[in-house]
Amino acid sequence: MPPSRQRGVSRREFVKAAVAIGGSAALSACLGRENPDLPQGPDDLSGLSRRQHAWNDALRTDDHGNHVPPRHHLLLYLDYAGDGTPTDTDRETAETALRSLERAYPPSTDDGDIGLLFTVGYAPAYFDRFEGTLPESVDLPTPEALAPFEDPVPDEPDAVVHLASDYGSVLLAAEEGLLGEREEVNGREVEATFDGVFERASLAEGGRARRTGFIGEGLPADNQDVAGIPDSEPVPDDAPLYMGFESGFEKNQATEDYVTIAEGPFAGGTTQHVSSMDLNLTQWYEQDSREHREASMFCPAHADDDVIEGTGENLGNSNGVGGCAETVEQDARDGVVGHAQKNARARDDGRPVMLRRDFDSTDGDRAGLHFLALQESIADFVKTREAMNGTDAAAEGAVGQRANNGILQYINVRRRGNYLLPPRESRALPTPNPGE
């Protein structure tokens, strides 16, 4: 019998499953396991950042200064319930609903736990409702395939809400509060809801309008009894992600300032890209050696020099692949090129141009990744993705377009979506040019 089944259902497994299921029954069961006893949020919201994506001040940092992401995540894909352009009444209702959540939960507690963080983003399809167009200061193209070997379904809802917390029960309560299924959240009256303003989105090819996931030590190992992971349950107990290595090193993330739109009516906002991917890790864990996994995830030099211990926590606040960027072509001729090594070529003044906040998932009972990245313009994401494609490495002949070319052969991008996260003052059903 696999080890996790011998252990029984842990609290972490149970909470993950409850978040994935959703609904009042799941919330009640989840509260019985978690009992978070969180304080309420502030009455006066004026102290909150106008940047929706400014989460770092609320996040813990580890011993190396890396920001520790919330453990549980929920993406709600929504369509505007009305016809044509949103009304001012609907705009006020949506903003009141969002403020109700902010008054119900604090971003973080004195103990460092994440209460509730969230963003609201809008797809290009939403802005098509208006006669006017987005200003030139906003780069928000429709989603499309970004490699010759992928054929993702475009996600084109009106909006997406990203909810994140250290507690699954908080996500479930916030979801029910927003959608009009609860009158009170964490002891606070829900003053307005999305009911009648937004409804769950109808996405192409049966796309899920509700996507869930997790990140953090122990959660991938506790939830590896799904398709895409070998039955041997190889995910290390201390790995934060299914592929077994650390991610989100502080020096390998763009800063919140860097990804912020600098000018125009959406100054203070940012753009968000979400790719939903399947993971296929049988070969990764059962045929590839540890050395090959290190070379493929980081760079061959890291594997040759044996610099990675365990999940890579010993690397500190940087994956240290900056120097590897110059050897992509030579390493490709030698037979393996690294994922981070390729991406290191898409930097600005030595730092990445994206801020990653992605997380693993068991949606559909298979291992997946919701790759969520923030950047000032979607062009910055495209630039990084093109570097990751490693088409130039494949041209060297010793690696394939996917085989031994970073981690491309282990992932399959199923869906893509692009969104604008406006600054907080215009987050509720914005026009293309707020203030005009």
pLDDT tens-digit profile, the chain (436 residues):
344 444 456 777 788 788 888 888 888 887 778 878 899 999 999 999 999 999 999 999 999 999 999 999 999 999 999 999 999 999 999 999 999 999 999 999 999 999 999 999 999 999 999 999 999 999 999 999 999 999 999 999 999 999 999 999 999 999 999 999 999 999 999 999 999 999 999 999 999 999 999 999 999 999 999 999 999 999 999 999 999 999 999 999 999 999 999 999 999 999 999 999 999 999 999 999 999 999 999 999 999 999 999 999 999 999 999 899 999 999 999 999 999 999 999 999 989 999 999 999 999 999 999 999 999 999 999 999 999 999 999 998 799 999 999 999 999 999 999 999 999 999 999 999 998 7
Residues 6+ apart with CB under 8 A from 157: 77, 78, 79, 123, 125, 126, 201, 203, 209, 417
Partners of 163 in the beta sheet? 74, 118
Strand pairing category for 347-348 and 359-361:
unpaired
Measured distance CA(392)–CA(194) in Å, rounded: 47
Residue 415 lies in a domain: yes
417-430 pLDDT, tens digit per residue, is 999 999 999 999 99
Residue 355 lies in a domain: yes
Phi, psi torsion values for 417, nearest 5 degrees: -150, 145
With tokens 């995910």, the residue in question is: 235
Taking each continuous run of H as one helix and of E as one strand, the counts in the chain are 14, 17
Q: Token digits for 276? A: 């939903």
Please answer whether residues 402 and 159 qualify as being in contact, where contact means their C-beta atoms are separated by less than 8 angstroms: no
Residue 97 lies in a domain: no
Q: Token digits for 62? A: 């580890």
Query: Based on the number of CB atoms within 10 Å of its own CB, is 132 exposed (0-12), middle (13-18) or buried (19 or more)?
Result: exposed
304-352 pLDDT, tens digit per residue, is 999 999 999 999 999 999 899 999 999 999 999 999 999 999 999 989 9
Residue 369 lies in a domain: yes
Q: What is the signed CA dihedral for 350, 409, 74, 215, rounded to 10 degrees?
A: -70
Question: Which pTM was predicted?
Answer: 0.95
Q: Token digits for 434? A: 């707020």
Instruction: Please choose, from the candidates 163, 284, 161, the residue with its C-alpha nearest in 3D space to the C-alpha of residue 213.
Output: 163
Measured distance CA(226)–CA(210) in Å, rounded: 19
Q: What pLDDT is recorded for position 34?
A: 84
Q: Token digits for 332? A: 């490709």
Please answer whether residues 73 and 215 qualify as being in contact, where contact means their C-beta atoms are separated by less than 8 angstroms: yes
> Roughly what angle, to the nearest 10 degrees, separates helices 88-104 and 168-178?
150
Average model confidence (pLDDT) across the chain? 95
Partners of 274 in the beta sheet? 372, 417
DSSP, residue by residue, 83-119: SSSPPHHHHHHHHHHHHHHHHHS-SB-TTS-B--EEE
Q: What pLDDT is recorded for position 26?
A: 83
Neighbours of 305 (CB within 10 A): 10
Residues 6+ apart with CB under 8 A from 343: 352, 384, 387, 388
Residue 128 lies in a domain: yes
Number of domains in the chain: 1
With tokens 């909810």, the residue in question is: 163
Q: What pLDDT is recorded for position 141?
A: 98
Phi, psi torsion values for 225, nearest 5 degrees: -85, 60
Q: What pLDDT is recorded for position 169?
A: 95
Residue 305 lies in a domain: yes
Q: What end-to-end distance do the CA atoms of the chain give, in Å?
A: 64
Residues 6+ apart with CB under 8 A from 346: 352, 353, 383, 384, 386, 387, 388
Please answer whether residues 312 and 245 qualify as being in contact, where contact means their C-beta atoms are separated by less than 8 angstroms: yes
Please answer whether residues 132 and 433 qualify as being in contact, where contact means their C-beta atoms are separated by less than 8 angstroms: yes
130-186 pLDDT, tens digit per residue, is 999 999 999 999 999 999 999 999 999 999 999 999 999 999 999 999 999 999 999
Q: Token digits for 230? A: 């070998």
Measured distance CA(46)–CA(78) in Å, rounded: 27
Residue 172 lies in a domain: no
Q: What pLDDT is recorded for position 20?
A: 85
Residue 393 lies in a domain: yes
Residue span of the structural domain in which 359 resides? 62-71+120-157+213-426
